[in-house]
Amino acid sequence: MAPHSRPRVRLSSRQVWAALRTHTLLILVVLASICPVLFVVVASFKPITSFDSLASSTAPFTLANYLGVFADKVSIQWLLNSIIVTTAVTILTVIVDMLAGYAFAKLKFKGSAWLLSAMLATVMVPFAVTLLPNYVLVARLGLVNSYAGLIIPLLSAPVGVYLMRQFISEIPDALLEAAKIDGANPLQILLKIIVPLARQPAIVLAVFTFVNTWNSFLWPLLIAQSEDKRTLIVGIATQSLQHTQNLGAMTAQTVISMVPTLVVFAIFQRYFLMGLTAGSVKS
């Protein structure tokens, strides 16, 4: 990991070629990954209305598409819905999973191990199985087309509990015992010791939850039945079927919808890597 620990040696020509080949292949993968996206970003700054006009467009760049989106009440409502749902789900997931993770990691009660493995076993159940009955139940509860219906069912995923439990388990018991002797109750221990020490896994959980919720599709598609309850992602995908296609507005909406996840990734990159590493090691 330390780049300067090795003495600088002259690379043999074979090593130079190998490095060159690696760079070339990686650059090709990078181009394949981002060029299609960049093409759409560029298109969003062109005065286009349809696919034909995109093909023949040599017009100078313009902000018209973005101004159009920000002047459109419906688009703004979708953006707002996405922000509300994603913020709520992210904050609540971290709180709920941290509480449960602490209980599983450090509090002794009967059936703890059994309950945790039962919860984790359901990770293997395809969402197809619970989706329909979930919808029927949420509909019976009258939560279709409401923020509650969009938010609450997303808080039931068990993965975050496992993540939190693993990290909290690593906090030394001696620390908690010392606090107990000082007369701290479990709630005080949670707030004074666990929360500050479990900051990293909490951020890992928050960034993954943020990206997954922002991009979530099928559940909000089912639950948001009127236009004003749709999230931005669902709105983009469903409008093209109903309205006359306006490619310029769509590209601008799409680029706007990509910004939050890209920004979160740019800022919290190392937490994404931590999460993926934790995931792959624990397999």
Residues 56-95 binding other proteins (CB under 8 A) are: none
Could you tell me where the beta strands, DSSP code E, fall in 50-141? none
Q: Smallest distance, Å, CB 86 to other proteins?
A: 11
Choice between 6 and 73, CB closer to other proteins: 6
Cβ atoms < 10 Å from Cβ of 227? 13
Cα dihedral: 168, 110, 156, 143 (round 10):
-140
Choice between 71 and 241, CB closer to other proteins: 241
Question: What are the CA-CA distances from residue 3 to residues 205, 271, 273 (Å)?
Answer: 30, 22, 19
Q: Smallest distance, Å, CB 34 to other proteins?
A: 5
169 lies in the site for other proteins, by CB under 8 A: no
**Segment contacting other proteins by CB under 8 A, of 68-76, 83-91, 108-116, 197-205:** 108-116
Report d(CA 128, CA 162) in Å as an integer: 22
* Rg, the chain, Cα only: 24
250 lies in the site for other proteins, by CB under 8 A: yes
The sign one gets for the Cα dihedral 176, 167, 200, 161 is: negative
**Segment contacting other proteins by CB under 8 A, of 60-68, 111-119, 166-174, 196-204:** 111-119
217 lies in the site for other proteins, by CB under 8 A: yes
Q: Half-sphere exposure of residue 281, counting CA atoms within 13 Å on the CB side?
A: 8
**Segment contacting other proteins by CB under 8 A, of 58-66, 166-174, 196-204, 211-219:** 211-219
Choice between 115 and 197, CB closer to other proteins: 115
Q: Smallest distance, Å, CB 110 to other proteins?
A: 9
Residue 183 backbone zone (phi > 0: left; psi -120 to 50: alpha; other: beta): left
Who's near 21: CB < 8 A, 6+ residues apart?
Answer: none
**Segment contacting other proteins by CB under 8 A, of 67-75, 167-175, 197-205, 258-266:** 258-266
Who's near 150: CB < 8 A, 6+ residues apart?
Answer: 81, 85, 219, 220, 223, 224, 229, 231
Choice between 34 and 67, CB closer to other proteins: 34
Cβ atoms < 10 Å from Cβ of 273? 11
Site for other proteins in 121-160 (CB under 8 A): 122, 124-137, 139, 152-153, 155-156, 158
Cβ atoms < 10 Å from Cβ of 180? 14
Q: Pick one of 64, 83, 115, 203: the residue that binds other proteins (CB under 8 A).
A: 115
Q: Smallest distance, Å, CB 152 to other proteins?
A: 7
Q: Smallest distance, Å, CB 94 to other proteins?
A: 12
Choice between 64 and 159, CB closer to other proteins: 159
Q: Pick one of 11, 16, 30, 178: the residue that binds other proteins (CB under 8 A).
A: 30
